[in-house]
Amino acid sequence: GAGVSQSPSNKVTEKGKDVELRCDPISGHTALYWYRQSLGQGLEFLIYFQGNSAPDKSGLPSDRFSAERTGGSVSTLTIQRTQQEDSAVYLCASSPGTLYNEQFFGPGTRLTVL
Amino acid sequence: AQSVTQLDSHVSVSEGTPVLLRCNYSSSYSPSLFWYVQHPNKGLQLLLKYTSAATLVKGINGFEAEFKKSETSFHLTKPSAHMSDAAEYFCVVSAMDTGRRALTFGSGTRLQVQP
């Protein structure tokens, strides 16, 4: 079956513009995660959705970052008024549920803010 | 709170020699532990996971890891390195914290395999 997909694969934007990154999780997976991987760094947790529960937003670095998940499936990560320090690879992952923490990762979106 | 420390940012081995990537964790709860691998320009792939069953966990591509609670360690090993093992490896801890499955990645260990 299809894995986690993300779009676009690459995004170049100008400082101050808004961007939207999309994630399509594996069908049937109730948990969805967003991470950020900056150059030479590990993965930084951003936000976690589980079913219909309120998302865990504890990893979002500022109020310029937001995410939503519609219909328990597709998720969009929005970054408003982008800054150069937002340049990173944004990774999405999904998993079957809270009892199964194995996560399946998408290929990522490489964001470059000029 | 939980944390994970990968003790080496870079490890270099010769092809055919053993691999040891070290990971120590800290968690207030019984953790689940994982190793993921990231090859250049590829997505993250699960190598193996520990979820309170056998303490010695076998994964893909000949890798294994042993959960040692007394040492709070989950080191990754492989008896004989292959050139294709060159990649970035991440140790991950997941534990029930404030009612949610908080996830913490280590900073990664880059494995270099010399011919």
Per-residue pLDDT tens for B32-83? 899 999 998 778 899 999 887 788 999 999 999 999 989 999 999 999 999 9
Of B15, B53, B57, B54, which Cα lies nearest the Cα of B34?
A: B57
B49 vs A: CB within 8 A? yes
Question: Mean pLDDT for chain A?
Answer: 90
**For chain B, what percent of residues have pLDDT higher than 70?**
92
- For chain B, helix, strand, coil in percent to 5 are 5, 60, 35
A93 vs B: CB within 8 A? yes
A111 or A98, greater pLDDT: A111
- The Cα A21–Cα A76 span in angstroms is 5
Q: What is the DSSP code (8-state) at residue A97?
A: B
pLDDT tens digits for range A68-91: 998 879 999 999 999 999 999 999
The answer to whether the Cβ–Cβ distance between B100 and A102 falls below 8 Å is no
The answer to whether the Cβ–Cβ distance between A43 and B46 falls below 8 Å is no
Measured from the Cβ of residue A41, the count of other Cβ atoms closer than 10 Å reads: 13
The answer to whether the Cβ–Cβ distance between B107 and A91 falls below 8 Å is no
Q: Which of residues 61-90 of A touch B (CB under 8 A)?
A: none
pLDDT for residue A43:
85
- What is the identity of the amino acid at B59? G
Identify all chain A residues contacting B108, using CB atoms and an 8 Å cutoff.
41-42
* Parallel, antiparallel or unpaired: strands B109-114 and B87-97: antiparallel
